[in-house]
Amino acid sequence: MPTIYRELGLTIYRWMTARSRSRLTTSYAAHRMFPASVLFYHRVATHSMNDWSIEKNNFERHLDWIVKYSTPASLDQVRDSQLAGSRSQPMVSITFDDGYGENTEHAIPALLARRIPCTYFVSTHFAESGEPFPHDVKNGVPLRVNTIDEIRTMADQGIQIGAHSHTHVDFGTPMSEWQHRAEITDVRKRLQDWTGQSIDYFAFPFGLKRNITQEAIDVVFESGFKCFVSAAGGMNWPGQDANHLQRIHGEPGMSALKNWLTFDPRKVRAAPPIETTLQTRSLAKAGSR
């Protein structure tokens, strides 16, 4: 849960850097080079809160702020604008990992009511078996997981379903060819059979650099996925990589969300200069002629 001091500190920092943020926004608008932010959540609930849960009312405040100050977008829209090399408005995409049962009671209705696109990444073993996630068992509070019927219903309601491995495995550990197939290729086929959707996006469990290998990435694309997502934090700049979208954790509270999405100068410092990105975009267009 967010502390009062962290919330206050981030709020003061955002006020102190308001001019820098304004200049960045003006520059992005002039060059049609707004970054896209992809947020990831796990569980929206009203009880048994933990580090990977956000309270229902807090989540709804996130959504309302996003609708007011940015453009909610699907992962397809984010990826398309990456490929196009321009983005005229700040896009924000909502994603979920794992597959918690309470999301059908709180998160999904809130998203549908606001017509906000969402990609919901599922670990298929738990939906099949009904077993709680190992991290919840370890935490001493086993929580309900989504059923296959709930995933089908979400797909029917317009929620995009994505793959999050079969057993929530850490791909940073040594794995055989058979294990890669079971955790990636077979999961895509299984989810497509359940939902009737084309399953185009894969989210690596844990999602940090150490949890992702080139071997696993190769299997992702060989299996027919368009793109994979990570979870190390970072924005997505038009004209840059459209095969890998970076994601930001949707932390409880409001200050962290506002700080990221109003272009914290520290966060965007690692991004390529606009001039470099414009040059990349120009070369890409020239090459397509």
**pLDDT band at residue 271 using 50, 70 and 90 as cut-offs:** low
- pLDDT the model gives residue 3: 77
The per-residue pLDDT for 1 is 52
Signed CA dihedral, 116, 166, 199, 172: sign only: positive
**Residue 288: pLDDT above 50?**
no
Match 């896209």 to its residue by tokens: 36
* pLDDT for residue 184 is more than 80: yes
CA distance 214 to 191: 23
- Residues 106 and 202: their CA atoms lie apart, in Å, by 24
Lowest mean pLDDT among 119-128, 154-163, 233-242: 233-242
| Structural domain spans, the chain | 4-157+229-281
Tokens describing residue 263: 């272009």
As a whole number, mean pLDDT of residues 108-128 equals 98
Query: What pLDDT is recorded for position 287?
Result: 44
- Over residues 198-232, the pLDDT tens digits come to 999 999 999 999 999 999 999 999 999 999 999 99
Question: What is the reported pLDDT for 19?
Answer: 96
pLDDT at 284: 46
Please check whether residue 126 is in contact with residue 168, taking contact to mean a CB–CB distance below 8 angstroms: yes
* Cα–Cα dist 75/35, whole Å: 13
Q: Exposed/middle/buried for 214, CB within 10 Å: 0-12, 13-18, 19+?
A: exposed
The CA distance from 170 to 78, in Å, is 26
Q: What are phi and psi of 182, to 5 degrees?
A: -65, -35
Q: Could you read off the pLDDT of 238-263 as tens digits, one per residue?
A: 998 999 999 999 999 999 999 999 99
**What pLDDT is attached to residue 273?**
54
If we measure between CA atoms, which residue out of 46, 17, 2, 64 comes closest to residue 262? Answer: 17
Residue 278, pLDDT > 50, answer no
Q: What is the pLDDT of residue 2?
A: 63
The answer to whether the CB of 77 falls within 8 A of the CB of 92 is: no
Task: Domain 4-157+229-281: state its class.
Answer: alpha beta
Distance CA 245, CA 268 (A): 15
- pTM for the model stands at 0.93
Residue 266 reports pLDDT greater than 70: yes
Closest CA to 99 of 91, 90, 109, 107: 107
How far is residue 210 CA from its own chain's centroid? Answer: 18
Task: Give φ, ψ of 51 to 5 degrees.
Answer: -65, -20
66-89: pLDDT as tens digits: 999 999 999 999 999 999 999 999
pLDDT, residue 4, reads 87
DSSP annotation of 48: S
* Alpha-carbon span 157 to 272, nearest angstrom: 38
DSSP string across 148-162:
HHHHHHHHHTTPEEE
